[in-house]
Amino acid sequence: LAKTTQPISMDSYEGQEVNITCSHNNIATNDYITWYQQFPSQGPRFIIQGYKTKVTNEVASLFIPADRKSSTLSLPRVSLSDTAVYYCLVGAPDNYGQNFVFGPGTRLSVLP
């Protein structure tokens, strides 16, 4: 299983761009990188997924360098409501997601 490492916590201010980096040095060729967001007492919510280079959706961007040993989730102009825990996961498509490991994640606090 590809192990991921993320910062335990980050602070930011409203309106700033936040970048959360995840290390996954032993990522396998077939692994995809997926990010989830979780608010207290709720289930995680899918944010974005990618394999290489850059992926962008209406919520975030995901940057993946050529060696794929790390990835960066970018949240543009955060607001107080972006305060949550963010999880980085890697997983192979042929495992149907059952080998996803949700580590402790990164606790993002957005301050006014």
Q: Which residues bind other proteins (CB under 8 A)?
A: 32, 34, 36, 41-46, 49, 87, 91-94, 96-98, 100-105
**Residue with smaller CB distance to other proteins, 17 or 57:** 57
**Residue with smaller CB distance to other proteins, 10 or 92:** 92
Task: Give which of 48, 44, 112 is closest to 84, Cα–Cα.
Answer: 44
**Residue with smaller CB distance to other proteins, 16 or 30:** 30
- Minimum separation from the CB atom of position 97 to other proteins (A): 5
HSE-CB of 51 using CA atoms within 13 angstroms: 6
- Minimum separation from the CB atom of position 85 to other proteins (A): 9
- Minimum separation from the CB atom of position 41 to other proteins (A): 7
Buried b (16+ CB within 10 A) or exposed e, 14-48: eeeebebbbebeebeeebbbbbbbbeeeeebeebb
Contact in structure between 32 and 79 (CB atoms under 8 Å): no
